[in-house]
Chains A and B, each alone.
Chain A
Amino acid sequence: MSLLEVASLTVTSSDGVARVRDVSFTVEPGERLGLIGESGSGKSLTAFAVIGLLPAGLTATGSVVLDGTQIVGAPEKHLVPLRGRVGAFIFQEPLTALDPLMKLGRQLAEPIARHQGLRGQELKHAILDALDEVRLPEPERIAASRSYEISGGQRQRVAIAMALACRPRLLIADEPTTALDVTVQSEVLALLDRLVADRDMALIFVSHDLAVVSRMTDHALVMQAGEAVERGSIQTLLTSPQHPYTAAFAASAYRIETGFAAAIANGQDQ
C-alpha cells in the first residue's frame, strides 16, 4: 500500500474558484517527490491538503489517503494523531512554526514528551539530542533562547527538529530554504538530505527552484495553474519534457544555468 495516495484532489476557494484541479499522485514509503511550479500553481495548497492543513476558506474534494486514513472531510480529531507521527510539515518561514513567546527548548519538549513519553532529566536530554541532531551549535543556549534571538538558518533547523521529533514517515517541506542565504541554504539542504536518508522517511519537497529540487530528489511533479501537468524523473523533465509548460520552465532554468556555467568555464580556461 502506498504511504500517500492522492486521487482527483481539487481545492476550491470560497468564491468557487478551483485553485487545485483534479491532481492525483502517490508516494511510497521512503520515496522522495518534488512538487515544482511557479507562484499560483497550487503546489503549496496541494502540500497543505495532504496533511489537512488548508487555510480557512479553502475546501478540498477528492481523496487523500495518508497511511490508510482518509484526510479529505475528516474531522480534526482524526487528523491530530496523524500530524507529527505520520506526516510532518516544514514551512518556508520558520517564524510561522515557532512561538515567539516560548523558549525553543519548551516548544521542542511538547512533541518529544508526547511521542516518547519522557519527563524530567530524560526529556531534557532528548531535547538537547534533537537540537544536536540538526547540527545546532551550543544546544543548551538555543534551548534557552526564543525564536527571535537566533538566526534564520538556526530557526529553520529548530523547525526541522520539531518536525522530526515524532519520527514521521512522511516529511513535507514547503520551500524550506527559500528565505535563507545561499550558503545557509546549502547547509540546510545537506542536513535535510541526510536526515531523510538516515530515517528512511518519504519526502515531498515543494519548490519553485528546479536546481534546489534536483539537489533533494530525482523525481518531480510539475504543476501549473492548479493542475499537475507532468510527472517524471528530473532528467527526463529537463531533456524530453512532454508538456509545453515543462519545456518552457526547464528552458528558463537552463538559460540562467548556462550563463553561469559559461562564466565559470571562461575563468577556468584562463
Chain B
Amino acid sequence: MTAILGLDDVSYAYRGARPGRYAVQGVSFAIETGLNTGLVGESGSGKSTLIKLLLGLMRPTTGRIVFDGDPLDLGDRAQMRVFRRSVQTVFQDPYSSLDPRQRVGRIVSEPVRSLQIASGREADALVAEALQSVGLPADAASRYPHEFSGGQRQRIAIARAIVSRPRVLLADEPVSALDVITRSQVIALLGELGARRDLTVLMVSHDLGVVGALCQRTIVLQGGRIVEQGPTSGVLGAPREPYTQQLLASVPRLPQIRPGPG
C-alpha cells in the first residue's frame, strides 16, 4: 500500500480565532491507493477544514500535508501542477458547482485546459471519455447544466473531476443533495470508478450509511480531532469510542425485512 496524500500532525486555526482555538488539531492520516476513505463527523467537527487543507487551498498552521511522500509546498509550481492533476474534487451541490452559462463540454474540459493536459481533438476525446465513464450520453457535451437533473449534474461534476485522470478524488458530501434513488446510483458510480480508473475516493459525509456502502476505511472526527480511525468494518462493526458508538446508534435504519417465500 502506498500513501498518496496525507496529513502529518496538522492543526489549523482560522485567522481571528481566539488563541488556542483550532478548527482541526493534531490530525494525522493517509489516503492509501485503493482504499476509499470516509471522513465522518457532525457540524463543527472540522470536515470542511480538512478538505480545504487536503486540496492545498490553505496552509496548515502547524504540521504538514504530504503528497507522494514529499511535503506539499503550495509555492512550488512544478509540484503543484502534478498535485492539481492528481487530486481533484466534487462538491456537495451540483446546482451551484456548475457554471450555468457554459456548455457541459466546456465545463468538463476546464481541468484539461487549465492544467495544459491536452487541446483540440485530443481534449475533446478526453471529455467524451470522461462523460461516457460517468454514464452520460455523448451529446451531453453540447448541452447546458439546466437541461440535466440533480443526479446527472453530479455526474457532470464527477466527469470534470476525473477528466485529468487523478489518483485521488476528494468528495465533500457528494450525495447529500440528491434523492435516494440517484444517491445510491452515484455511490455505485463512485465505487466503480475507483476500480476501473485506479482512483481512490476520500469522501466527507455525515451519513454513516453512505460511508459504510462505499469506503474501506473510516475516520471519525469530533471537535477538530480524530476520535477513531481504521478499517470501516472495525469502526462501524466494533467501535471502541463512545462517540462513535453514539453516532452509530443514531443512524436511522430500515426495519428488518421478514424473509418472504423464495
Contacts and interface: CB of A to CB of B under 8 A. Distances in A.
A267 interface: yes
A69 interface: no
A208 B179 CA distance: 7
- Report the interface size class on chain B: 35 or more
Interface in A165-201: 181-186, 189
Given A181-B206, A209-B180, A267-B233, A256 B250 contact: no
Contact of A210 (B180, B207, B213, B234): B180
Given A235-B257, A253-B254, 14 more contacts: A39-B150, A182-B206, A182-B207, A182-B247, A211-B251, A238-B255, A239-B257, A252-B181, A252-B185, A255-B213, A256-B180, A256-B213, A262-B212, A264-B212
Interface in A236-270: 238-240, 248-249, 252-270
Interface of B: 42-43, 150, 179-181, 183-185, 187-188, 206-210, 212-214, 231-238, 246-255, 257-258, 260
Dominant SS among interface residues on chain A: helix
Interface of A: 38-39, 152, 181-186, 189, 208-212, 214-215, 234-235, 238-240, 248-249, 252-270
Given A209-B252, A256-B209, A183 B237 contact: no
A198 to B, nearest CB: 22
A215 B247 CA distance: 16
A71 B6 CA distance: 59
Contacts of A235: 255, 257-258
Given A182-B208, A255-B213, A266-B233, A260 B179 contact: no
B182 to A, nearest CB: 8
A238 B257 contact: yes
Dominant SS among interface residues on chain B: helix
Given A181-B43, A186-B249, A235-B258, A260 B181 contact: no
B254 A38 contact: no
A212 B252 contact: yes
B260 A257 contact: no
Contacts of B184: 252-253, 255-256
Nearest to A178: B176
A212 to B, nearest CB: 5
A186 B250 contact: yes
Nearest to B181: A252
13 contacts: A39-B150, A182-B208, A185-B252, A209-B180, A238-B254, A240-B260, A252-B181, A256-B210, A259-B209, A259-B213, A260-B236, A261-B212, A263-B233
B208 A267 contact: no
Given A234-B255, A259-B214, A39 B179 contact: yes
Given A181-B42, A259-B212, A260-B213, A270 B233 contact: yes
Given A181-B43, A270-B234, A208 B180 contact: yes
